[in-house]
Structure 1
Amino acid sequence: MLVKDRMSVNPITALPETTHKQAVELMREHQINHLPIVDKSGRLVGIVVEEDLFHAQPTPATTLSIYEIHSLLSRLQLKEIMRHPVHTVAPDCPLEEAARMMIEENVGCLPVVDQDQIVGIITDTDVYQTFVGLLGSGREGARFTLKVVDQPGSLAKIAQAVADAGGNIISVVTWQNRFDEQVYITIKEFGADYRQLEQALDAMDVEVVDIREHPACEPTQYG
């Protein structure tokens, strides 16, 4: 999966001369939190996020009147508050590498640039949505996690057990636990005889860490 497969294309942009007030209106109108800044040739020169607009406003302790505040923000241009240089990514970059870059650079988005022109934007929300899809969340089926020996053929045997039980694999992810660095496989499948599959997994050379016939969780609210 590449960045171009998950990015938002033709992102909303602004000019360095765009005012704070205009930027707020743009973000509200298009329901976005990131605003790439481009010059008149379309070249990326900076970026403004919602947090920047918030911090640019006077604090509640200000002695300015409402009129003075509005007047100030109507003159404040994005070139005065934008972040630069901007971390970017190419359309053909693997999505996991883009996510790694966002973590390492502590940013919530990466403009996607091709031949010096911005063609899209990939955000942390896009990464979350991809993660949800990869794990098959929201789709009906059973979910199980196994600790396996990191050797050829392990996944094939598990997949065969699912097939023998009449199941179809919806998603499969291999991962390492951050605490013990052991290899785990999480699979979501639909249609298998749940008890038959459970017995088959118990008989294999794997450790069943978690198995759920109905994995959906309901949110709990407080306050």
Structure 2
Amino acid sequence: MIKKVVTVSPEDSLEKAVQLMKLHSIRHLPVVEDGRLVGLVTESTIRQYARPEELGKPLREIMILNPITVSPDTTIDAAARIIYRHKIGGLPVVEGDRLVGIITITDILEAFIELMGLLRSSSRLDVIPREPEGLDGVLEIVRAHGGKVISIGMDVEPSGEKIYFIRLERMPLEPLASALEVAGHRVISVVD
């Protein structure tokens, strides 16, 4: 969550909101009065009123009333589901009615990238494990070859087979892939 939030007041003009959004490269402006969240102005809200004759309008006339919010205790998973379900780009974070931050889709993407280790030097192996060993059997072979797991993702094929996307600290993957194949696991892809 971003704690230093750029805000506007209900009496500020649409023009001021546009200028702040451009200046700070943001798409969401919480509307705050005496520290309390009273509304939200978004890039898409502004697009509806961006005609020159409307730039002087006070934000109280165009702001989103009762925006969807979350508390500081909301998990990143729950915030992501809310953003996805409501097809919105950000959520003000409030304690009671006091604005304490904002979480945007960019913050969620950043958390995902960090969690998955996508910016680290790494290798990736996509595997369908042999049953009954499953993922445990795959990881046993990975460890035996000196592999250090950064993250694991999973997808389920229409057939019900599980594909595991195993991100490892950078290492040569060919010997590991061969060992997995010999053990009966199907290596779908190797990405160095």
Report the counterpart of residue 54 of structure 1 in structure 2: 47
The aligned amino acid for 2:31 is I
Matched-pair contact (CA < 8 Å) for 1:134–1:172: no
Paired residue for 1:141, among 116, 122, 126?
122
- Superposed, which structure 2 residues align to 1:1-223 within 5 Å? 7-40=1-34, 42-58=35-51, 69=52, 72-74=54-56, 76-148=57-129, 154-177=134-157, 179-180=158-159, 182-212=161-191, 214=192
Give the distance between the partners of 2:43 and 2:140, measured in 1 at CA: 49
Q: 1:28 to 1:90 in 2, by over 3 A?
A: same
TM-score, with length taken from structure 2: 0.87
- Where structure 2 has 5 or more consecutive residues not aligned to the other structure, the ranges are none
Equivalent-residue separation in structure 1 for 2:31 and 2:160 (angstroms): 42
CA 1:192–1:110: 2 relative to 1, 3 Å: same
The separation in 2 between residues aligned to 1:161 and 1:120, in whole angstroms, is 44
CA distance 1:191–1:163, change in 2 (3 Å): farther
Give the aligned partner of residue 64 of structure 1.
none
CA distance change for structure 1 residues 181 and 33 in 2, over 3 Å: closer, same or farther? farther
> Once the 2 structures are TM-superposed, how far is the Cα of residue 157 of structure 1 from its aligned partner?
2.9
Q: For structure 1, which runs of at least 5 residues remain unmatched after alignment? A: 1-6, 59-68, 215-223
- Distance (Å, rounded) in 2 between the aligned partners of 1:94 and 1:154: 30
For residue 126 of structure 1, give the secondary structure of its aligned residue in structure 2. Answer: helix
Runs of 4+ in 1 over 6 A off after TM superposition: none
* Cα distance, 1:205 vs structure 2: 4.7
TM-score, L = length of structure 1: 0.76
Cα distance per residue 1:13-46 (max 9 Å; x no partner) = 1111110111112112222110011122x11111
- The 1:132/1:22 distance shift into structure 2, 3 A limit, reads same
Q: Retained in 2: the 8 A contact 1:163–1:192?
A: no
Q: Given the superposition, is the C-alpha separation of residues 13 and 180 from structure 1 closer, same or farther in structure 2, using an over 3 Å criterion?
A: farther
Give percent identity, aligned residues only: 32
How big is each residue's C-alpha offset from its partner over 1:111-151, in whole Å with a ceiling of 9 and x where there is no partner? Answer: 11123211111111111222222332232221012234797
